[in-house]
């Protein structure tokens, strides 16, 4: 195939030098057929083809100068075949410089690839070397740490091993020396010949006995330990039960601190109470003093610290919670010495009440006592103290509230006050009473002797005393029955007034109720499941009823006071009190 093409190439080249235009067109067409893209296989063939094309182009140029129109058409056809748009023509016409340029570019690209390859291999090698170094360093550190820890543990184990081996050897040597001594003693006594089998048997028996003794000793030690522990637990339970049985404060009881103050019965003694502290009944800034005095933590030196009956633990008694202390002291007139006066003692007590529920609790405290009042001093009072923290070690302040104050002189008063115990807190309930004249007796000297008063004089004085007590009872009954309308305290009374005013405003204009009035009445309405207007009507009706009831009670009180003054004996006085109480209930 190759030889045939070369022969054709040579023939075309030979004919191209001397041919006519039409022949030249045929030669060009033949060349076009020979130099097909698929036939050209290398650059050498391209070079030969180029030589033929150059010869054809030269002949075409020579003929073009003197050719006829029809010859010129053949020449144009030949030129079209020579300069075909195929890749062969372009490759042939390519110069050696261009090929060299392409070769240089290829080599440059290959060199760049090689350079990048070497740089990448160098970077990878460096990163690999660095990673290997880091791994080796980490491995070395870990091995060093592990070796140090291992050496420490091995050293500790060696130390313990040596100690244990030494202890075992010591005990073994002791036992061995003992056994050897026994064997030698046995030999000496029985004159056993050396090497006798009985010695081995004896040694075996001794070893077995030693093991059995050790086993029994361990069992006995374990048994004794368990027995001691069991008996110790039983003793603890027994002691706990015994202590509970002998506990002074039984479950359900309410203990409190109570003391009798040294007041007028020791007026000129040391450490007595004078009017300086008499404001205790009303001044809550001084209530802490009373609690400190009962607890023994007061800051006084020797003044105002005297108790006639030292404070002690007492108990509220009975299912209704009652405690009554009755004792009087006597005093004679400092001038005429013909009068003997009987004074109930001033008293001071405090009890602690804890609310273990999650809601506030209000309880009524009823109390009786005596009271002396003079220009703002003495009197009687009940207080509730609430600490600022439920943790007793963190209490820094107690807030006191005066729930009752008595500002009159009375040898016998009875009153009550509402005590509010906040949820989860313990409050201190404190009561203070002062001493006041209960009765007096008149004596005279006849022949150097004291003569008692007449029975009539005594009866008359007792009646006067009973009348004063009856007036206190009337006041007590009055307060009890009016409290349900006017409130048991100033705060409660003020609350009733505010509710009544809000109810009046709501009923006056139910279509445009003021927000503040709603806030006052709405909680009460929600409790009853009714509307605000309906609740306002109930409050208004209750207020009207309260006015009538209080007016009636005041009328009965005034009438009772008037009749008490006219009473002539105790029976009539008692009948009057019963009648007053009955009418008060009916009103």
Contacts 24+ apart (CB under 8 A), 36-40: 36/88, 37/86, 37/87, 37/88, 39/5, 40/88, 40/91
Last residue of a domain, one of 247, 275, 309: 247
Question: Residue 497, SS3?
Answer: helix
Indicate whether 426 belongs to any domain. Answer: yes
Residue 317 has pLDDT above 60, yes or no: yes
Question: Among 334-343, 359-368, 476-485, 538-547, whose mean pLDDT is lowest?
Answer: 334-343
Q: Tell me which residue range forms the domain holding 377.
A: 254-325+342-434
Statement to judge: residues 537 and 465 lie in one domain = yes
| pLDDT at position 124 | 81
Residue with tokens 């190439």: 9
Q: Which residue has the higher pLDDT, 454 or 515?
A: 515
Which residue would you say has higher pLDDT here, 271 or 110?
Answer: 110
Instruction: Output the DSSP codes for 8-28.
Output: HHHHHHHHHTS--HHHHHHHH
User: pLDDT by residue (tens digit) across 328-385?
Assistant: 777 665 444 556 666 778 889 999 999 999 999 999 888 888 888 766 677 888 999 9
- 500 and 396 within one domain: no
Position with higher pLDDT, 74 vs 325: 325
Residue 11 lies in a domain: no
Q: How confident is the model at residue 109 (pLDDT cuts 50, 70, 90)?
A: confident
Q: For residues 91-104, give the mean pLDDT.
A: 64
Query: Residue 400 — pLDDT band, cuts 50, 70, 90?
Result: very high
Asked if residue 113 belongs to a domain, the reply is: no
Please compute the mean of the pLDDT values over residues 293-320 and round it to a whole number.
79
Per-residue model confidence (pLDDT) at position 383? 93
Instruction: Quick: pLDDT tens for 165-174.
Output: 777 767 766 7
Considering only residues 412 and 198, tell me which one the structure prediction assigns the higher pLDDT: 412
Same structural domain, 233 and 267: no
Whether 315 maps to a domain, the answer reads yes
Q: Strand 380-387's sheet: what is its strand order?
A: 307-316, 254-261, 347-354, 426-433, 380-387, 398-406
Looking at the fold, whether 486 and 390 belong to one and the same domain comes out as: no
Q: Is the pLDDT assigned to residue 429 strictly greater than 80?
A: yes
**Residues 240, 266 within the same domain:** no
| Cα–Cα distances in angstroms (integers) from residue 307 to residues 211, 236, 259, 281, in the given order | 76, 41, 7, 18
3-state secondary structure string, 526-552? HHHCCCHHHHHHHHHHHHHHHHHHHHH
Enter the tokens of residue 275: 């009017």
Of 132-141, 358-367, 394-403, 414-423, the least confident: 132-141
Q: Which residue has the higher pLDDT, 390 or 331?
A: 390
Highest mean pLDDT among 87-91, 117-121, 192-196, 291-295 belongs to: 291-295
Highest mean pLDDT among 263-277, 292-306, 358-372: 358-372
Looking at the fold, whether 291 and 427 belong to one and the same domain comes out as: yes
Percent of the chain whose predicted confidence (pLDDT) is above 70: 61
- Residue 243 banded pLDDT, cuts 50, 70, 90: low
Q: What's the mean pLDDT when you consider all of the chain?
A: 73
- In this predicted structure, the answer to whether residue 529 has a pLDDT above a threshold of 90 is no
- What per-residue confidence (pLDDT) applies to 519? 83
pLDDT of residue 87: 41
Q: What pLDDT is recorded for position 86? A: 41
Among 190, 215, 247, give the residue marking a domain's end.
247
In this predicted structure, the answer to whether residue 434 has a pLDDT above a threshold of 70 is yes
391 and 517 inside one domain: no
In a domain, 430, yes or no: yes
Contacts of 305 (CB under 8 A, 6+ apart): 271, 293, 298
Quick one: angle between helices 21-34 and 43-64, nearest 10?
Answer: 160
428 pLDDT tier (thresholds 50, 70, 90): very high
Q: What is the pLDDT of residue 457?
A: 67
Q: What is the pLDDT of residue 341?
A: 65
Is 299 part of any domain?
Answer: yes
Query: How much is the average pLDDT of 257-285?
Result: 69
Q: What's the pLDDT at 80?
A: 65
487 and 558 inside one domain: yes
Total domains present in the chain:
3
Helices and strands in the chain, H and E counts: 13, 15
Question: Are 411 and 437 a contacting pair, CB within 8 Å?
Answer: yes
pLDDT at 407 over 60: yes
Q: What is the pTM of this model?
A: 0.39
What average pLDDT does the segment 67-71 reach? 63
Return the pLDDT at 40.
Answer: 45
Q: Spell out the long-range contacts of 501-509 with Cβ–Cβ below 8 A and sequence spacing 24 or more.
A: 502/536, 502/539, 503/535, 503/536, 503/537, 503/539, 503/540, 503/543, 504/536, 504/540, 506/532, 506/533, 506/536, 507/533, 507/536, 507/537, 507/540
Note whether 481 and 569 are same-domain residues. Answer: yes
| Nearby residues of 269 by Cβ (< 8 Å), 6 or more positions away | 262, 306
Split at pLDDT 50, 70, 90, the class of 524 is confident
Per-residue confidence (pLDDT) for residue 39, from 0 to 100: 45
Model pLDDT, residue 458: 65
* pLDDT for residue 33 is more than 90: no
d(CA 163, CA 211): 23
Does the pLDDT value for residue 501 go beyond 70? yes
Q: Which of 56-60, 271-275, 511-515 has the highest mean pLDDT?
A: 511-515
- Flag whether 167 is in a domain: no
Do 243 and 266 lie in a common domain? no
Q: Lowest mean pLDDT: which of 178-187, 299-308, 471-480?
A: 178-187
101 part of a folded domain = no
Domain final residue pick, 247, 271, 303: 247
- Is residue 399 located within the same domain as residue 277? yes
Q: Are residues 373 and 407 in the same domain?
A: yes
| Greater pLDDT, 188 or 450 | 188
């Amino acid at each position: 195939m190759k030889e045939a093409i070369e022969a054709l190439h040579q023939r075309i080249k030979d004919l191209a030098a001397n041919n006519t235009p039409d022949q030249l067109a045929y030669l060009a067409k033949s060349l076009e057929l020979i130099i097909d893209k698929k036939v050209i296989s290398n650059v050498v063939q391209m070079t030969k083809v180029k030589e033929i094309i150059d010869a054809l182009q030269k002949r075409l140029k020579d003929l073009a100068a003197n050719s006829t129109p029809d010859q010129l058409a053949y020449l144009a056809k030949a030129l079209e075949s020579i300069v075909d748009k195929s890749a062969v023509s372009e490759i042939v016409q390519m110069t050696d410089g261009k090929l060299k340029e392409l070769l240089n570019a290829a080599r440059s690209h290959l060199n760049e690839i090689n350079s990048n390859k070497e740089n990448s291999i160098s970077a990878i090698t460096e990163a690999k070397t660095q990673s290997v170094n880091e791994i080796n360093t980490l491995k070395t550190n870990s091995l060093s740490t592990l070796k140090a820890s291992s050496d420490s543990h091995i050293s500790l184990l060696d130390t313990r091993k040596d100690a244990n081996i030494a202890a075992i050897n010591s005990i073994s040597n002791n036992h061995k020396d003992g056994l050897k001594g026994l064997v030698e003693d046995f030999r000496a006594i029985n004159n056993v010949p050396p090497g006798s089998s009985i010695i081995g048997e004896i040694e075996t028996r001794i070893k077995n006995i030693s093991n059995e003794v050790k086993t029994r000793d361990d069992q006995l030690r374990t048994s004794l330990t368990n027995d001691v522990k069991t008996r110790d637990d039983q003793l603890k339970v027994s002691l706990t039960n015994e202590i509970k049985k002998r506990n002074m404060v039984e479950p359900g009881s309410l203990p409190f601190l109570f003391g009798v103050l040294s007041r007028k019965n020791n007026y000129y003694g040391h450490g007595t109470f004078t009017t300086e502290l008499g404001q205790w009944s009303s001044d809550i800034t001084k209530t802490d003093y009373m609690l400190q005095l009962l607890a023994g933590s007061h800051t006084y030196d020797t003044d105002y610290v005297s108790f006639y009956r030292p404070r002690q633990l007492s108990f509220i008694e009975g299912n209704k919670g009652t405690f009554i202390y009755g004792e009087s002291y006597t005093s004679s007139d400092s001038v005429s010495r013909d009068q003997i006066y009987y004074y109930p003692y001033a008293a001071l007590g405090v009890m602690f009440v804890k609310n273990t529920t999650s809601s506030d609790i209000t309880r009524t405290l009823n109390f009786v006592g005596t009271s002396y009042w003079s220009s703002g001093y003495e009197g009687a009072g009940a207080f509730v103290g609430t600490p600022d923290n439920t943790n007793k070690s963190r209490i820094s302040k107690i807030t006191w509230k005066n729930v009752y104050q008595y500002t009159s002189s009375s040898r016998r008063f009875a009153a009550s006050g509402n005590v509010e115990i906040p949820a989860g807190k313990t409050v201190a309930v404190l009561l203070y009473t002062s001493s006041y004249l209960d009765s007096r007796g008149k004596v005279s000297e006849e022949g150097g002797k004291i003569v008692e008063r007449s029975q009539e004089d005594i009866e008359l004085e007792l009646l006067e005393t009973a009348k004063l007590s009856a007036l206190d009872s009337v006041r007590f009954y009055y307060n009890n029955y009016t409290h349900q309308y006017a409130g048991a305290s100033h705060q409660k009374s003020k609350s009733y007034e505010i509710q009544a005013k809000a109810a009046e405003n709501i009923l006056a204009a139910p279509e445009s109720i003021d927000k503040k009035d709603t806030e006052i009445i709405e909680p009460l309405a929600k409790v009853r499941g009714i509307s605000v207007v309906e609740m306002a009507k109930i409050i208004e009706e209750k207020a009207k009823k309260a006015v009538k009831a209080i007016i009636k009670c005041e009328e009965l009180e005034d009438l009772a006071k008037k009749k008490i003054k006219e009473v002539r004996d105790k029976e009539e006085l008692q009948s009057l009190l019963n009648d007053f109480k009955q009418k008060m209930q009916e009103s």
